[in-house]
């Protein structure tokens, strides 16, 4: 199989899925870094393990790589159990943040390394294909120090991919790059993964990075997966306060469930939110009764000076005041003090339709009910904020 020239397989579940079953790691000091974890990474998908520092994502990756022995549970690729297989015998390769290139070898020699070690003689063609894939054909004769950080990272990628692993593990691979380079490399990584069609498991604490590249994200917190889904599912319908805050920002407002209305897809949960009855679609309400946090993303909150029309058929809140205005070019970020004394955020695109509202402006605000979500009141409303 030629990785570089064959069309990619679609990211669908296949018979070579990576399956973690009740996988657990307790270190010698008694600390459990990964609680029993069940996860299926579909063959050919770009999968991200996302979470703050210390949540156990690297430990999970190292167990898949064979660099850490699990305390319990199993790891399988397809129906082959690799839990206790030696690292070099697994169809798995890892790309680290530190590129770990051999400084005395040329770029082409670095890329050829895995093939030479396996005593494969004819390396010229696969190396040329790999360098083409990562767009470094013209750099083949240089030494690693003569390349930029982003180029070195692409060499590390080519060096791993040439071994044709079934699963490529990426441990914060872009962490050492500056922001602009990182954005460019995110697009590159996604293109390469689509082109080769291999399973990529990417570990990162950067939510934007995970959302840009991954088909599916598992959000990890304190050794457990909090929620798993596509970037849009996680963002639009978080199931915990940690996910609501760690992926982007959320306004969380106390409320009490009063009942429900309608049926089927149209069913809504009615919540008394600070004296106003608001509706939340049943599929986004993760509380059946009692108290809860009504969640709404800042860009979904529409604000207008008192007396001006609000462009949403939602719940209408009066008595707000702008207390802070941050103009950041593409949008303006407002902090609004509500009539019940809470400060909430509202982000408005700078379409030019209206000028920027100054602090002190009396405003009304609203949102479309379909964008709200409801989370359990016993969860910490600030979970996930400080880590982001």
DSSP 3-state assignment of 310? coil
Identify each DSSP E strand in the chain by its residue range.
18-26, 32-41, 46-50, 72-77, 80-81, 92-95, 167-171, 199-204, 216-221, 224-229, 251-261, 268-273, 276-281, 291-296, 302-305, 315-327, 331-337, 343-349, 362-367, 373-376
- Asked whether position 255 contacts ligand ATP by CB under 6 A, the answer is no
Residue 39: alpha-carbon gap to chain centroid: 16
Least distance between ligand ATP and beta carbon 226 (Å): 13
Rounded CA-CA distance 112/107 in Å is 9
Q: Are 217 and 234 in contact (CB under 8 A)?
A: yes
Least distance between ligand ATP and beta carbon 47 (Å): 15
Q: Applying CB under 6 A, which of residues 12, 29, 138, 145 lies at the interface with ligand ATP?
A: 29
Binding segment (CB under 6 A) for ligand ATP, from list 6-14, 29-37, 139-147, 378-386: 29-37
Q: Applying CB under 6 A, which of residues 205, 282, 284, 297 lies at the interface with ligand ATP?
A: 205
Which residue's CB is nearer to ligand ATP, number 33 or number 280? 33
SS (H, E, C) 183-197: HHHHHHHHHHHHHHC
- Asked whether position 202 contacts ligand ATP by CB under 6 A, the answer is no
Binding segment (CB under 6 A) for ligand ATP, from list 49-57, 178-186, 253-261, 362-370: 49-57
Binding segment (CB under 6 A) for ligand ATP, from list 48-56, 151-159, 240-248, 296-304: 48-56
Rounded CA-CA distance 129/137 in Å is 9
Which residue's CB is nearer to ligand ATP, number 56 or number 314? 56
Reference 204, options 99, 51, 20; nearest CA is 51
- Asked whether position 94 contacts ligand ATP by CB under 6 A, the answer is no
Least distance between ligand ATP and beta carbon 381 (Å): 23
Reference 289, options 264, 267, 266, 272; nearest CA is 272
Q: Applying CB under 6 A, which of residues 11, 20, 48, 55 lies at the interface with ligand ATP?
A: 55
- Asked whether position 33 contacts ligand ATP by CB under 6 A, the answer is yes
Which residue's CB is nearer to ligand ATP, number 60 or number 239? 60
- Asked whether position 58 contacts ligand ATP by CB under 6 A, the answer is yes
Q: Which residue is nearest to ligand ATP (CB)?
A: 58
Rounded CA-CA distance 12/34 in Å is 27
Reference 241, options 282, 287, 209; nearest CA is 287
- Interacting residues toward ligand ATP by CB under 6 A: 27, 29, 31, 33, 51, 53-59, 205
């Amino acid at each position: 199989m030629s990785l570089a020239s064959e069309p990619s397989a679609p990211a669908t579940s296949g018979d070579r899925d990576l399956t973690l079953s009740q996988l657990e790691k307790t270190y010698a000091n008694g600390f459990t870094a990964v609680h029993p974890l069940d996860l299926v990474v579909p063959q050919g998908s770009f999968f991200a393990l996302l979470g703050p520092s210390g949540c156990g994502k690297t430990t999970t990756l190292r167990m898949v790589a064979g660099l850490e022995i699990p305390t319990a549970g199993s790891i399988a690729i397809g129906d082959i159990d690799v839990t206790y297989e030696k690292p070099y015998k697994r169809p798995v390769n890892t790309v680290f943040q530190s590129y770990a290139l051999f400084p005395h070898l040329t770029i082409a020699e670095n890329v050829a390394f895995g093939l030479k070690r396996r005593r494969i003689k004819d390396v010229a063609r696969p190396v040329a294909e790999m360098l083409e894939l990562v767009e470094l054909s013209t750099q083949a004769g240089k030494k690693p120090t003569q390349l930029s950080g982003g180029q070195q990272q692409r060499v590390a990628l080519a060096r791993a991919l040439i071994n044709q692993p079934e699963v490529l593990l990426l441990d914060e691979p872009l962490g050492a790059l500056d922001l602009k380079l990182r954005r460019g490399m995110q697009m590159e990584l996604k293109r390469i993964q689509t082109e080769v069609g291999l399973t990529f498991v990417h570990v990162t604490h950067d939510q934007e990075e995970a959302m840009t590249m991954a088909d599916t994200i598992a959000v990890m917190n304190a050794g457990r997966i909090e929620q798993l889904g596509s970037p849009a599912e996680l963002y639009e319908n978080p199931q915990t306060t940690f996910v609501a805050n760690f992926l982007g920002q959320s306004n969380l407002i106390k409320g009490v469930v009063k009942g429900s209305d309608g049926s089927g897809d149209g069913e809504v949960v009615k919540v008394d939110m600070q004296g106003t009855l608001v509706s939340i679609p049943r599929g986004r309400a993760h509380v059946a009764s009692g108290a809860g946090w009504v969640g709404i993303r800042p860009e979904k909150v529409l604000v207008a000076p008192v007396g001006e029309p609000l462009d949403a058929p939602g719940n209408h809140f009066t008595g707000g005041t702008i207390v802070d205005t941050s103009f950041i070019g593409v949008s303006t970020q407002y902090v609004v003090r509500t009539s019940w004394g809470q400060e909430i955020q509202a982000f408005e695109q700078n379409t030019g339709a209206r000028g920027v509202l100054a602090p002190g402006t009396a405003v009304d605000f609203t949102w479309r009910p379909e964008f709200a979500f409801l989370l359990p009141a016993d969860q910490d409303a600030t979970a996930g904020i400080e880590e982001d």
